[in-house]
Amino acid sequence: MIAVLTVSAGADAHKRATIAITFDDLPALTLLRDQRYVTYLNTMILRGLKRHHIPATGFVNESKLDELDRSQQIAVLQHWLDASMDLGNHTFSHESPNTLGPADYIADIVRGEPVTRGLLAQRHRTIGWFRHPYLETGAPIAVKREIDDWLHAHGYRIAPVTIDADDWEFAEPYDDAIARHDERRRTHIRRAYLEHSAETVRWYRAAAHALFGRDIAYVMLLHATRLNADCIDDIAALLKSEKLRPVSLTKAMTDPAYRTKDPYAGKDGIEWLERWSIELHKSLPWDSYSEVPKDIVADYDRVDPDR
- Which of 268, 263, 257 minimizes the C-alpha distance to 278? 263
Residues engaged in binding Zn ion (CB under 5 A): 24-25, 133
8 A C-beta contact, residue 141 and residue 265: yes
Measured from the CB of residue 36, what is the shortest distance to Zn ion in angstroms? 23
C-alpha distances out from residue 3 to 11, 12, 65, 205, 214, Å: 12, 14, 55, 30, 22
Distance CA 64, CA 33 (A): 10
Distance CA 123, CA 108 (A): 25
Measured from the CB of residue 301, what is the shortest distance to Zn ion in angstroms? 19
Nearer to Zn ion, 24 or 169 (CB): 24
Measured from the CB of residue 143, what is the shortest distance to Zn ion in angstroms? 19
Nearer to Zn ion, 136 or 299 (CB): 136
Measured from the CB of residue 92, what is the shortest distance to Zn ion in angstroms? 12
Residue closest to Zn ion when measured from CB atoms: 24
Amino acid at 198: A
Nearer to Zn ion, 18 or 89 (CB): 89
Measured from the CB of residue 212, what is the shortest distance to Zn ion in angstroms? 27
Q: How many CA atoms within 13 Å lie on the side-chain side of 112?
A: 30
Nearer to Zn ion, 30 or 277 (CB): 30
Kindly report the CA angle at 195 between 227 and 166, in degrees rounded to 5? 55
Measured from the CB of residue 221, what is the shortest distance to Zn ion in angstroms? 9
Distance CA 124, CA 298 (A): 46
Measured from the CB of residue 241, what is the shortest distance to Zn ion in angstroms? 28
Distance CA 249, CA 21 (A): 7
Nearer to Zn ion, 133 or 173 (CB): 133
Distance CA 51, CA 90 (A): 26
Nearer to Zn ion, 211 or 249 (CB): 249
Nearer to Zn ion, 24 or 166 (CB): 24
For the chain, give percent helix, strand, coil, nearest 5.
60, 10, 30
